[in-house]
Amino acid sequence: MATTTALTGTKAERTRAALRDAALRHFVADGFEASSVPAIAAEVGVTERTFYRHFATKDEVLFGDLATRLEWFSRALRARPRDEDLIVSVLSSMSSAPIDPQLMVEIARLRSELLSPARIERVFRDRQGAMAAELRRVLSERGTDELAAAVRAETLAGAVFAALAVWTESPRPHDVRTLVALTERALEQVRPALD
């Protein structure tokens, strides 16, 4: 497994990356459930409390590519032209995700190997809701009436996470190009519901 610890960035970013790398190594070596947060923290030379400052749970390490709060997505979406095609805006905004694509593929592989499909689905549903909330806020700011904003937001987020679920469940190898293509197809399938 490739190490992803950056040599640049703030101390907090380097600590988070080191904790993530150590956790991933422990998950592979010991299994997800048997991996110990104190052991992960000790390997990095920090306290258990420091681990929990960076990750609320061990699960969050395996879902770090799907941040609970999607500020990066919201910021990117707000920066898109207001009259731009909504699907184009969503796809462009998603490409600004603050994670290395290779790390995203590795984490997806580990998720599917180490966690049950039900556990993955629960987190995907939570993140889908977070994305829908961000989309709804932006659409409302752009003057879309509340019901239309809510329906469009749920539809778009549903399509994005449907593509992610299909990609995650598909046989390996996983690659980002396939995920992007699935996402584009899923969004095009819901285009009629956006009008």
101 to 48, 105, 106, 146: CA distances (angstroms) = 28, 6, 9, 34
pLDDT higher at 7 or 195: 195
pLDDT of residue 44: 95
Contact of 160 with 183, CB cutoff 8 Å? yes
pLDDT at 65 over 90: no
- Show the domains of the chain with their CATH numbers: 11-60 (1.10.10.60), 65-194 (1.10.357)
- The C-alpha atoms of residue 10 and residue 90 are separated, in whole angstroms, by 29
- The C-alpha atoms of residue 57 and residue 101 are separated, in whole angstroms, by 22
DSSP the chain: ------SSS-HHHHHHHHHHHHHHHHHHHH-TTT--HHHHHHHHT--HHHHHHH-SSHHHHHTGGG-SS-HHHHHHHHHS-TTS-HHHHHHHHHTT-SS-HHHHHHHHHHHHHHS-HHHHHHHHHHHHHHHHHHHHHHHHHTT--HHHHHHHHHHHHHHHHHHHHHHHHSPSPP-HHHHHHHHHHHHHHHHHHH-
Name the DSSP letter for residue 1. Answer: -
Contact of 135 with 150, CB cutoff 8 Å? no
pLDDT of residue 7: 47
Percentage of the chain surpassing pLDDT 90?
A: 47
Average pLDDT for 182-193: 96
pLDDT at 64 over 70: no
pLDDT of residue 9: 67
Of 177, 178, 132, the C-alpha closest to 154 is: 132
- The C-alpha atoms of residue 28 and residue 54 are separated, in whole angstroms, by 20
Question: Which pLDDT tens digit goes with each residue over 26-58?
Answer: 888 888 888 999 999 999 999 999 999 998 888
Indicate the average pLDDT of the chain: 86
- How confident is residue 72, by pLDDT bands cut at 50, 70 and 90? confident
Among the ranges given (88-97, 115-124, 142-151, 185-194), the one the predictor scored with the smallest mean pLDDT: 115-124
